[in-house]
Amino acid sequence: MFFIKNVPGWERIIRLVIGLMALAFAYQNLGASNLGVALGVMGTMLSMTGLVGYCPMCAMAGRKPDKGH
C-alpha cells in the first residue's frame, strides 16, 4: 500500500511513547478487566501510527501530508 506520511516527527514520538505505555498497562491488566483489552487495542494503533507515520483517521479528517518534518 502506498501512502503519504501525514504525522509530523514530534507527534510520531508522542504517539509511540503513549502507545507503548498503554501496551504496558494493558499487559499488566489484561485478565483483570475490559479496560486492559481496550488499552491494548489503543496502544497498538498509536504505536503503529507512530512507527509508520501515517494515520488513516487524520487522512479522513483532511489533515495535510507532512512536508519533510
Q: Can you tell me which residue has the cell 504525522?
A: 7
Radius of gyration (C-alpha) of the chain in whole angstroms = 14
The runs of H, that is alpha helices, within the chain are 9-28, 34-52, 56-60
Write down the pLDDT at residue 2.
72
Write down the pLDDT at residue 59.
85
DSSP 63: P
Tell me the per-residue pLDDT of 50-68, one tens digit each, with 9 for 90 and over.
Answer: 999 998 888 889 887 756 5
What are the backbone dihedrals phi and psi of residue 24, each rounded to the nearest 5 degrees, phi first?
-65, -45
Q: In the chain, what are the domain boundaries?
A: 9-51
Write down the pLDDT at residue 11.
93
Please indicate, yes or no, whether the overall pTM of this predicted structure exceeds 0.85: no
Tell me the per-residue pLDDT of 17-40, one tens digit each, with 9 for 90 and over.
Answer: 999 999 999 988 877 788 888 889
CA angle, corner 31, sides to 29 and 33, nearest 5? Answer: 70
Write down the pLDDT at residue 67.
65
